[in-house]
Structures are given as C-alpha cells and as structure tokens.
Structure 1
Amino acid sequence: MAWLPGPFLCRTLLGFLCLNGLAVEVKVPTEPLSVPVGKTAELVCSYSTSVGSNFALEWSFVQPGKPISASHPILYFTNGHLYPTGSKAERASLLQSPPTGGVATLKLVDVRPSDTGTYLCHVNNPPDFYTNGLGLINLTVLVPPSSPSCSQSGTAFVGGSAALRCSSAQGAPKPVYSWVRLGSFPTPSPGSVVQDEVSGQLILTNLSLTSSGTYRCVATNQMGTASCELTLSVTGPSEGRVAGTLIGVLLGVLLLSVAVFCLIRFQKERKTTPKETYGGSDLREDAVAPGISEQASPQADSRKGLLERSPSASTATTTKSRLPMLL
C-alpha cells in the first residue's frame, strides 16, 4: 500500500514552498476605498513570488452587480513592458515601474462616477505554485447631490391632502431628503405630516388655508447638499364649490352637445332614406283614384262605351273615304 503524506506534512511542504518563493500570494486592503469625484485614487496591491521571465501582472475592472468574468482590462505588464488598454488607459498607471518588487499599486487620476466598481489585481508567475493570485478592491467615487427636482401631485383643497416629492438625479452615496417650511407662517400640526427621507416624499393631510406657503427640500450626503423650493396653494371651501359647479356645468354642456349632434344626424339619415314607389306596370286599368267611389263615375262609363264603339265608326269612315276611288 502506497504511503500518502499526512496533513502536517502537506502544511510543512506548503510553508517551505512559500519561504523559498515558489508560491504566489496577492494581498489588497480589506476595506472599500472611497474617493471624491475628480480626485486621484491609489489602489494598493502587494504580492509575494519569485519573479522570473514569465511574470505577468494585470489590473482589470468590473462594474457593480456584474460577475468577475465580465471584467475589462485596464493595463497589463509582461516581459518588462507596460501595456495600458481599455477606456481608462489614459488615466491609469502604476506607481512602481517596473512592478517587480512585490508592490503594484494602480493610480487612477480624475476619477468619475463611472469608475465606481471592483478592481482586480491578478499576478501570474508560472511555474510558481498558486495560493491566492487574485486580489479584489471595491472603489466608490463620492459625488455630491445634484440639484433636486420638486413636484406636487394633485390640487390642494381645505380638508384634503397633498403629496410633495423631491429627487436628485446624481449623488453617491445616495442622498437623504428633508423638507422644511419657509417663512413665519404656523406649521401644520404634527399629526398631519408624513415625511420619507429615503424617497423624498412629504405628505400633508387635513389641509387648511394656513398650510399654504413655500416648502424647501434639502438633499444631503457626505459630499454636500442641494435644495429646491415649491409653493403650495390651498384652495378655500367656497372656491372649491365654485370649481365643482363649473366642472358640473361644463359636463352638462358637453352631454347636451352630444345629444344635439346625434339628433341632427338622425334627422339627416331619415331624410336621405328612399321612399317606396310603384312602377307604371303595377297600375290597374280599372283602378279608381283615391277619394273617388265607383258609383260616382257615370262619365267614365260613357267614355268607356264610346271607346268600345270607336272601331266600327272608324271602319265606316274609312269605307266612305274609299268609295270615290272605286268610281
């Protein structure tokens, strides 16, 4: 039976390889790095290995929320030459040149919000034994809040409610929002105000005329503040009734206009419908005109008799006219 080395012997052998520089070990800071926008970021990466002709160092970047396999290279060092690459090549460099002394710190100038993400320091030195040849550093670019946008939903009436909203398009870390009432007007009662610092929403309920005024929203993070203002106008009860009456009148006029339009169209369609007619072939020779009875038509009977005798008379006339010609 073959003899296999025990755990103690494996650890001893691994320690021996490390002491003799036959292992690759990369170390990076464990804490995330935060740098204000426009400043310079230095990402420290140290390693231990027996640097040889096959030594290679690579820095790469992956956006937040994406896997490491989706990383993009920033620069590459091998055979004594540095090769910057990618969209960050013009702003990226190494503090150590060449980076063969055990430290390979990445320097990134004029950082931008798009630089926020994870940076990978990868050391490759075959045939050295690998223990941990990869280090990850999380960088956050700090951005002050941009000027927020203030908005109001709905129309405010006495006794009703109003929702005021506030939001900044930029800001890292994400800003928190607070609303304040400007001027010397009395503030709404505590029970009528609901404020959400995360979403930037302010809800005012049970409004009164004293709720009218100017409200300011302030967006804040560790880089600074920005604000916007909004004027709230609460409509009184009488004005609310007038508005409701006006809306009712407009709706009534609209419904009446629709009804008149439909009636006119119906009348036009009725006039253009063709009436039922009868052709000459449908009339009877002995038909009686409407309103005239058969008993009240003796003249018609006499005319009928004359028409029946008219062929004989015509024949006689024709015969008399031909006698002189026979003579």
Structure 2
Amino acid sequence: PGTAVEVKVPAEPLSTPVGKTAELPCSYSTSVGDSFALEWSFVPPGKPLSSSHPILYFTNGYLYPTGSQAKRASLLQNPPTGGVATLKLTDVHPSDTGTYLCQVNNPPDFYTNGLGLINLTVLVPPSSPLCSKSGQTSVGGSAALKCSSSQGAPRPVYNWVRLGSSPTPSPGSMVQDEVSGQLILTNLSLTYSGTYRCVATNQMGSASCELTLSVTDPSKGRVAGALIGVLLGVLLLSVAAFCLIRFQKDRRKRPKETYGGSDIREDAIAPGISEQTSMRPDSSKGLLERPPSASSVTTTKSKLPMVV
C-alpha cells in the first residue's frame, strides 16, 4: 500500500481587510507521483460542503484556474509538488468570505486527512447606518430609535449618544441594545427632545447617523385648539354684527313711496262711492245706468254730476 496523505491548514479562522491579498496556508505530506492532483474550492457561508465551487486545479503538471475567482487566484508555489499548496487571493471582496477547501489526491496513497478547511473573513468597515424612530413621541409615551448598517465585517456594534448640552435621559428610562442598534426611551418628557447620534463600530472603522427627537405635550395642543376656537367664534360674531348694522343703515336710507295731493290715479274711486256702486257712462243713452240691484248701492251725502 501507498503512504498516507496528510493535509495541514491553520486551525484558527483567518481574516483579511477588503481590497488586500489573502494567503491561505496549506501543506501536505505524500510521495508525489504522476497521479498527484490538487484542488482548491470555495463554500459560501451557510452552505454545505457539497455545494462548493472550484477555484483552481493542478493535475498532470498543469494549473487550471476556474470559477468566478479564477483571475484573482494563484498558488504561492507553482508547481505545488514540494509539499506547499498555499493559495493566494488578490483584491479580496466581501463576497470572498466563506470556507476554502484544500484537497490533495495522490493515488495509490490512501487518505488519512487529505482535506483541509480554512475559514476566511473579509474585513469591511461599517457602511453609513440608517437612523429611524417609531413610537408615541409625546409626554409620558415611549419611543424606539433604531440604527443599522447594511455592511460591516465583523458585524458592527452600535452606540447611541445625545448631542448638545441637554442632560442625558436617566438610565432607568433608556435601554440600549448594542447588537441590534436599538435605543428604547420610556416615560418621555419635554427634556428628551434633541439630536441623537448612532455610531456603528468594528475593528475596521466606524460610521454614524443622526436624528432629531421632538417630544410634544398634548395638553398644550388642547389649550391652543380651544383658544383658536374662541377666536374664530369672536370673529364670526363680529362679522355677523357688522352685517346686521350695515343692513339697518341701508334700510333707513331707502326712500318711501308717497303720493302728492295733486296726483290722480287712474284707478282711484270717487269719494263717497264704494267699488260696488261705481257707475259706467253710456254714451248712447247719455244717462248713467244703475246697477241691477238697488240694494247693493251705497250712497252718501255728496252728489255726482250727471254726464250729458
């Protein structure tokens, strides 16, 4: 039987700043022959080893880069036949974070530990966090201030601070979670109003955002509303009184219809005769005809002239 194939890799996870070159150490012990083969592959975080993606192969004396990382991947020693199979990965991206597999195959040598696993983390400074707030921002209410960065490795921790000279809320009325980036404020008062800053930090740097919290007093709003209602009522009454006075003045100035003593109306009835006893002249007979019923005629002491 052949000798044992043993691959050695670092036991601790590795980390490299974004944009730099990562070296993934891998060494092996075996008697290299014509059947010697080396393979490097990559497994994204949270995926099983069976879903690995190839990075490069070395077999039959030739190196075959492959996959999305091929242009940035190379071997520290090429050919890797001297027991060193270290991988170099230039200009690392955040997506390069994951598990790397160094596998040596050298038939007829049997395997004892022919596979080595290396965990790599690409260090990324926190991106500018997003600040937001929710809750009832009135006196006696509670508010939640939230802060989160979309990027950052390792995962950033968050810290809220209040800006300016205003006193910081008492510890009993505020709860801060450095992992989730949430600040809970309870039993709000007007003194809580102000500008708050959230700072996201990891070993690569920090970034921050700010927001303004305005605590309102509902009782002052009700007083202001009542005052506005009273003012509107007074205004409406003033307008109504003005219109009434104006109407009275216009009515007094309006002229009345009068008739002078010399004015004669065509439809007027002669004095002393009622409407029922009005006579109509008959030009053919030259006499005044009496109405058919003498009992309906009312006479007075004045006499009417006869028309000839």
TM-score, normalised on structure 2? 0.71
Task: Give the Cα–Cα distance (whole angstroms) in 1 for the partners of residues 154 and 224 of structure 2.
Answer: 45
Match for 1:108 among 89, 105, 117?
89
Offset of residue 112 of structure 1: 0.7
Q: How far, CA to CA, are the matches of 2:152 and 2:177 in structure 1?
A: 18
Structure 1 residues 244, 124: closer, same or farther in 2, change over 3 A? Answer: farther
Q: Distance in 2 between matches of 1:85 and 1:142?
A: 25
Check the 8 A contact 1:74/1:92 in 2, yes or no.
yes
Q: Deviations over 1:116-170 (max 9, x none)?
A: 1110001011011221111110001111110000001134111111111101101
- Is 2:220 aligned against 1:233? no
Contact 1:62 1:68 in 2 (8 A): yes
CA shift at 1:237, angstroms?
Answer: 3.6
**What SS class does the counterpart of residue 55 from structure 2 fall into?**
strand
Q: State how far apart, in whole Å, the 2-side matches of 1:36 and 1:243 are.
A: 58
AA matched with 1:138 = N
Task: Name the residue aligned to 1:59.
Answer: 40
Question: Which of 192, 204, 227 is the equivalent residue of 2:173?
Answer: 192
Q: Is the 8 A contact 1:158 1:207 kept in 2?
A: yes
Q: CA 1:194 to 1:241, structure 2 compared with 1: closer, same or farther past 3 Å?
A: farther
The Cα shift of 1:239 comes to 3.7
Amino acid at match of 1:169: S
Whole-angstrom CA distance in 2 between matches of 1:128 and 1:190: 66
The structure where helix makes up a greater share of residues is 1
CA distance in 1, matches of 2:225, 2:144: 21
Contact 1:157 1:237 in 2 (8 A): yes
Amino acid aligned to 1:61: F
In 2, Cα distance between equivalents of 1:103 and 1:189:
60
Match of 1:202 among 167, 174, 183: 183
The counterpart of 2:53, out of the listed 51, 65, 72, is 72
Q: Distance in 1 between matches of 2:75 and 2:157?
A: 37
Equivalent in the alignment of 2:152: 171
Give, in whole Å, the separation in 2 of the partners of 1:46 and 1:98. Answer: 13
Percent identity (aligned): 85
- Structure 1 or 2, whichever has the larger Rg, is 2
1:137 to 99, 103, 118: 118
**Helix, strand or coil at the partner of 1:158:** coil
In 2, Cα distance between equivalents of 1:243 and 1:61: 67
* Distance apart, 1:240 and its partner CA: 4.3
Aligned to 1:35: 16
Please report the RMSD computed on the Cα atoms of aligned residues, expressed in angstroms: 1.6
Unpaired stretches in structure 2, ≥5 consecutive residues: 227-308
1:40-84 residue CA offsets vs partner (Å, 9 max, x unmatched): 100011001110111100000001111111101000001110000
Q: Could you state the TM-score of these two structures normalised by the residue count of structure 1? A: 0.67
Q: Aligned in 2, Cα 1:62/1:88: closer, same or farther, shift over 3 Å?
A: same
Asked if structure 2 preserves the Cα contact closer than 8 Å seen for 1:157 and 1:240, the reply is: no
Deviation at 1:94, TM superposition (A): 0.4
The 2-side partners of 1:243 and 1:142 are apart by 55
Greater alpha carbon shift after TM alignment, 151-160 vs 92-101? 151-160
Aligned to 2:222, what secondary structure does the other structure show? helix
Q: Which residue number corresponds to residue 212 of structure 1? A: 193
d(CA) in 2 for partners of 1:243, 1:123: 81
Distance, in Å, in 2 between the alignment partners of 1:241 and 1:105 is 74
Structure 1 unaligned residues grouped into runs of 5+: 1-16, 246-327
1:162 aligns with 2:159: no
